Amino acid sequence: MAISKTRNTTFFFLGLFIFSLPVLFLIFFPLGKLMTAPSLTSLVQAIMEKDVQAALLRSLFTSLSAALISVVFGTPLAYLLARRSFTGKKLIEGLIDLPIMIPHPVIGIAILGLAARDTALGKLLEWMGIQIMGSYVGIISVLTFVGLPFFLNTAKAAFESVPIRLEQVSMTLGAGQLSTFFRVTLPLAWRGIVLGMVMCTARAISEFGAVIVVAYHPMLAPVLIYERFTAYGLKYSQPVAVWLIFISVLLFVAMRLLSRSARQW
């Protein structure tokens, strides 16, 4: 009986694996073909171009900036959502996930509309000398918009994993709420927060639709890939795409390592 049960279980999981093959092929083969298409010479030539270096560094800088903004302003909200129930909480959680679902060119159009010259915010930004269209401010704004949900959801889960009783013990011993947050909660949740930051950066660095609406220039790596593809075709755009994938893979590896550390903690 035990042998029969083990055999049935083996066949069941084998069947699941076979039905999963189309999904694995869909992910693996296009990326595998892309990664092996450019020659080593073309990859070296591409990374030696100043335009490519500038676009890749610009993508990293703006994506990390979006992640830092998410950490500074998103961490308090993530903790609030993890620890308190209040009227409208479900609505806020739904709004947080909204950027994941709506078409991203719409995000760019919405941000440009919010900062238009005939709006109060647009007039304030103009008075302050801040420009959204075709600027780093505009790029970082849309990258923060698309990356923030990934940080908030991950940070919220990290705070929820910290036992409330530890905070209660800290406050029983005389520590205040703020002191408890920085001395107890944050040290226990920091791996999840860093993981959320990495996920936010990874999502932001791949953004194209919202960025191209707000700022074609200064050019990020996804926009450069699009420009080279439309102007010269696959062969000229593939090396830049491979370098962007390489950076994304590094972020993915970092995310996995941090995720493993967070679970072990």
Residue pLDDT tens, the chain, 265 long: 555 556 667 778 888 888 898 888 888 888 888 888 888 889 999 999 999 999 999 999 999 999 999 999 999 999 999 998 888 888 999 899 888 888 889 999 988 888 877 788 878 888 888 888 889 999 999 999 999 999 999 999 999 999 999 988 888 888 888 889 999 999 999 888 988 998 899 899 989 999 999 988 899 999 999 999 998 888 889 999 999 988 888 877 877 776 665 555 4
The pLDDT value recorded for residue 201 is: 92
In a domain, 34, yes or no: no
Q: How many domains, in total, are found in the chain? A: 1
The pLDDT value recorded for residue 80 is: 94
In a domain, 57, yes or no: yes
In a domain, 16, yes or no: no
Q: What is the 3-state secondary structure (H, E, C) of the chain?
A: CHHHHHHHHHHHHHHHHHHHHHHHHHHHHHHHHHHHCCCHHHHHHHHHCHHHHHHHHHHHHHHHHHHHHHHHHHHHHHHHHHHCCCCCHHHHHHHHHHHHHCCHHHHHHHHHHHCCCCCHHHHHHHHCCCCCCCCHHHHHHHHHHHHHHHHHHHHHHHHHCCCHHHHHHHHHCCCCHHHHHHHHHHHHHHHHHHHHHHHHHHHHHCCCHHHHHHCCCCCCHHHHHHHHHHHHCHHHHHHHHHHHHHHHHHHHHHHHHHHHHHHHC
In a domain, 190, yes or no: yes
The pLDDT value recorded for residue 262 is: 52
pTM to 2 decimal places:
0.86
In a domain, 228, yes or no: yes
In a domain, 59, yes or no: yes
In a domain, 25, yes or no: no
The pLDDT value recorded for residue 113 is: 87
The pLDDT value recorded for residue 121 is: 81
In a domain, 4, yes or no: no
The pLDDT value recorded for residue 240 is: 92
Query: What residue numbers bound the domain in which 244 lies?
Result: 41-264
CATH (domain of 86): 1.10.3720.10
